[in-house]
Amino acid sequence: MAAPTTLQGTSRTRPAATPKGAWKVTFLLFLFMLVNFADKIVVGLAGVPIMTELNLSAEQFGLLGSSFFFLFSISAIVVGFIVNKVPTRWVLLVLALVWAVAQFPMVGSVGFTTLLICRIILGAGEGPAASVAVHAIYKWFPDEKRAMPTAILSQGSAFGVILAVPALNFVIVNYGWHYAFGALGIVGLMWSAAWLWLGQEGPLAEIELAGLREQRVPYLQLLTSRTFVGCVAATFGAYWALSLGLTWFTPFLVKGLGFSQQQAGFISILPWVFGACVVMTTGWLSQRLMARGVSTRMARGVLGATPLIFGGMLMAAMPHVDGATTRIALLVVGSGLCGSIYVVCAPMIGEFTPVSQRGAVIAIYGALYTLAGIIAPVVMGKMIQASGSLLDGYMSGFTINAVIMVIAGLTGLALLWPNTERARLQAHQAVAPEFA
């Protein structure tokens, strides 16, 4: 008969010390995610100059925004399985080099097709970024010490926008949008050089696997569990809002509300500042609730899904109010509340996923919810193209976003039960310890 088995979160090994160099790697990976989101935001930030120079329609620009995600999910899944065998140090280096190389063609004169192809290549390189970075961080910190480095890593995305938007907008306004892409390519090469010099592979992965005896759970069982499905559905709604922010927020400010490119650059920071506050508050509150013995159903599932509902309701009010300031406020707060779900879903999946399968399952989760990035920018483009008024088109697109967020939040509330998921799988293993 097989030896007793455990699932992630059902047993604890003796706490391990944090290896020397862990915080150095954390800082480098924070910068990695910062560059990652700066690369994402540049097309939306330069949206109006790009549309003007290339004579693009709203539908074409929506397609350009979606193109980034054409290979995003496929790449995330493939690389998610690769990092089970290949050191993350080298995978991260290759990803960063792909990002850098994909930016440089835009420095010269390019057409719509070239820009589209380069964004597809960039998306393929950036699809695995978050899951590989998390996997790399977990090789440096034992389970009980991962909350803070994970929070720091997640803030790289917000700071990537907060710091990059003013700098990139300065380049766009004073030198043209082509040079903004070139600047990002140079930054990508600089990070690659720093990582090649200072980056290291974490030593704790083998220790963790050696200290935890477990059997593999069929991937079909993990991927059809209600909590996994709930995480995908809830985060899909949140990512719909994020992808619209990346592609359409700045053009909405300029063409829809009449702000200048320079003004829009500063306003574009606001959703990310508010979102960063939501992320940090959710992480802190979740840990406080769990420390007091609150179930992960409440401390993670309900806490993460409920803000999506309120955020969707705020965005739904946008067409029914007057004034640019009020509409911006509703959009900033409504979309910013989505940040709560990103904090809780990966830990919930980790509660019931065996350690040896965690990287791939989290990668698949990311690949599925980011499919919203393909759909949302195109839908917004079609709404704008089909509307008699530019502003009405934007309002229709944001209303669709609001409905999707509310549905996503309600689905999350219904399905996110990680504590019972863990217990169910553990009981199943006890009955049938030989299942593969």
pLDDT surpassing 60 at residue 5: no
**pLDDT band at 134; cut points 50, 70, 90:** confident
* CA distances from residue 141 to 134, 239, 321 in whole angstroms, order as listed: 11, 28, 48
- Is residue 153 within 8 Å of 127, Cβ to Cβ? no
Helices (H), 46-87: 47-54, 58-67, 72-82
**pLDDT band at 431; cut points 50, 70, 90:** low
pLDDT surpassing 70 at residue 152: yes
- Please give the structure tokens belonging to residue 34: 């910062």
Residue type, 239: Y
DSSP 229: H
What is the pLDDT at residue 432?
52
DSSP 241: H
What is the pLDDT at residue 110?
85
User: Once rounded to an integer, what is the mean pLDDT over residues 160-167?
Assistant: 82
Q: Does domain 22-431 fall into CATH 1.20.1250.20?
A: yes
Instruction: Report which of 385, 432, 429, 373 is spatially closest to residue 8, judged by C-alpha positions.
Output: 429
Give dist(CA 286, CA 291) in Å, integer. 9
Give dist(CA 57, CA 394) in Å, integer. 14
What is the pLDDT at residue 293?
86
What is the pLDDT at residue 413?
95
Which comes out higher in pLDDT, residue 276 or 150?
276
Residue spans per domain, the chain: 22-431
**pLDDT band at 206; cut points 50, 70, 90:** low
Give dist(CA 200, CA 229) in Å, integer. 34
Give dist(CA 342, CA 308) in Å, integer. 11
Which comes out higher in pLDDT, residue 89 or 2?
89
Query: Interhelix angle for 204-211 vs 355-369, to 10°?
Result: 110
What is the pLDDT at residue 69?
85
**pLDDT band at 214; cut points 50, 70, 90:** low
Instruction: Read off the pTM.
Output: 0.80
Arithmetic mean of pLDDT over the chain: 84
What is the pLDDT at residue 118?
92
Least confident residue range of 147-156, 208-217, 357-366? 208-217
- Is residue 254 within 8 Å of 261, Cβ to Cβ? yes
Q: How many CA atoms lie within 13 A of 280 on its CB side?
A: 12
Give dist(CA 152, CA 149) in Å, integer. 5
* CA distances from residue 377 to 9, 58, 372 in whole angstroms, order as listed: 38, 10, 9
Give dist(CA 182, CA 118) in Å, integer. 13
What is the pLDDT at residue 393?
92
